């Protein structure tokens, strides 16, 4: 940590580039964590489809009677992060008041907290994806077919085509922008390939993210809205101007959250990896 006292310089502070959250809006909102840290989600099991028997002496005609079973998924919110920064009044006075508490709080929220939360969610969703593809390689002459094949695989599990979001890192996205083939790509997505703006491809919204956001060895992900949850239990942002140990201001933030894939909808999340499947002992 260093404090650079100003001699004669511009009082304007150069702020960092920031990104808005790339994972907002995908979470299933049906579940309420208010007052609890754990939620159990129950899902009824499907029944066996039988051949109806018209034989008069047959009992039962609808097939063997079976009890409707259920499965349960337990989700506990555990990731608890915070930051705590002091702005000494004496130092700030000698720095031409460049450290406005509100700006410091916003800058750390945008540059520290939000990127961390996005990376955490993508990593948890990839780890628990219901469809994992390994040894995937991308090239500009095959990338569109590879992406569409993944989408078709999800559709074969009856995953809705609506609400799908496609995540890819900046470097791999270059191959998509330079793709040799644009057949079947939506009109908006043609702008993606030409101009690099976010659009859609094969009906999926594209979100190009920094390479560091993608999980290790993950080339791309497809996340269907409502198949994942990202509960936030505590979200605190505050500025203290009367801290007992500091003559100045204290900026604090706390974010208690987590991310899950719903077990019964896990096929709505796909992760494609460049590496082989990990061995299981």
Which pLDDT tens digit goes with each residue over 104-158?
A: 888 898 899 999 999 999 999 999 999 999 999 999 889 999 999 999 999 999 9
What confidence score (pLDDT) does residue 196 get? Answer: 41
Does residue 189 have a pLDDT over 90? no
Average predicted confidence (pLDDT) for the chain: 82
Does residue 265 have a pLDDT over 80? yes
Q: What number is the average pLDDT over the span 185-202?
A: 57
| CA–CA distance, 64 with 50 (Å, rounded to integer) | 8
Helical axes 170-177 vs 143-155, angle rounded to 10°: 100
What confidence score (pLDDT) does residue 124 get? Answer: 96
Longest distance between any two alpha carbons in the chain, whole Å? 101
38 close to 74: Cβ distance less than 8 angstroms? yes
Does residue 276 have a pLDDT over 50? yes
What confidence score (pLDDT) does residue 186 get? Answer: 54
Question: Pick the residue with more confidence: 18 or 174?
Answer: 174
**203-224 confidence digits (pLDDT tens):** 898 999 999 999 999 999 999 9
- Burial grade of 230 (CB within 10 A; 0-12, 13-18, 19 or more): buried
| CA–CA distance, 128 with 145 (Å, rounded to integer) | 24
| CA–CA distance, 139 with 145 (Å, rounded to integer) | 10
**42-53 confidence digits (pLDDT tens):** 888 888 898 888
Nearest-CA neighbor of 133 among 151, 155, 121? 151
Which DSSP category does 12 fall into?
P
Distance from chain centroid for Cα 151: 18
Q: Could you tell me the pLDDT band of residue 281, with boundaries at 50, 70 and 90?
A: low
**69-90 confidence digits (pLDDT tens):** 888 888 999 999 999 988 887 6
Which DSSP category does 27 fall into?
B
Does residue 167 have a pLDDT over 90? yes
Alpha helices in the chain (DSSP H): 89-94, 101-108, 114-127, 143-155, 170-177, 187-195
- Grouping H, G, I as helix, E, B as strand and the rest as coil, residue 14 is coil
Ranking 31-45, 102-116, 167-181, 212-226 by mean pLDDT, the lowest is: 31-45
Q: What number is the average pLDDT over the span 36-44?
A: 82
What confidence score (pLDDT) does residue 8 get? Answer: 39
What confidence score (pLDDT) does residue 245 get? Answer: 80
| pTM, to two decimals | 0.81
Burial 195-209 (b: 16+ CB within 10 A, else e): eeeebbbbbbbbbbb
| Structure-token pair, residue 109 | 């929220």
What confidence score (pLDDT) does residue 60 get? Answer: 84
Does residue 168 have a pLDDT over 90? yes
What confidence score (pLDDT) does residue 7 get? Answer: 37
Q: What number is the average pLDDT over the span 48-71?
A: 84
Q: Which residues contact 49 (CB under 8 A, 6 or more apart)?
A: none
């Amino acid at each position: 940590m260093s404090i650079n006292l100003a001699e004669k310089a511009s009082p304007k502070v150069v702020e960092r580039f920031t990104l808005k959250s790339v994972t907002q809006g995908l979470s299933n909102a049906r579940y309420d964590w208010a007052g609890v840290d754990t939620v159990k989600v129950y899902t009824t099991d499907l029944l066996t489809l039988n051949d109806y028997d018209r034989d008069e002496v047959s009992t039962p005609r609808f097939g063997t009677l079976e009890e409707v079973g259920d499965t349960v998924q337990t989700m506990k919110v555990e990731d608890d992060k915070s930051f705590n920064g002091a702005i000494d009044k004496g130092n700030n006075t000698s720095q031409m008041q460049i450290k406005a508490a509100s700006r410091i709080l916003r800058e750390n929220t945008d540059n520290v907290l939000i990127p961390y939360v996005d990376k955490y969610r993508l990593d948890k969703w990839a780890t628990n994806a219901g469809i994992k593809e390994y040894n995937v390689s991308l090239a500009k002459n095959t990338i569109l077919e590879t992406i569409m094949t993944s989408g078709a695989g999800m559709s074969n599990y009856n995953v809705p085509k609506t609400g799908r979001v496609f995540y890819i890192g900046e470097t791999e996205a270059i191959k998509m922008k330079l793709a040799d083939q644009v057949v079947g790509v939506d009109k908006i997505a043609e702008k993606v390939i030409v101009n690099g703006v976010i659009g859609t491809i094969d009906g999926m919204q594209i979100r190009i993210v920094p390479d560091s956001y993608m999980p290790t060895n993950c080339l791309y992900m497809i996340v269907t809205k409502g198949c994942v949850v990202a509960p936030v239990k505590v979200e605190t942002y505050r500025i203290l101007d009367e801290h007992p140990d500091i003559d100045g201001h204290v900026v604090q933030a706390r974010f208690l959250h987590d991310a899950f894939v719903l077990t019964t909808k896990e096929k709505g999340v796909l992760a494609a990896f460049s590496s082989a499947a990990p061995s299981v002992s």
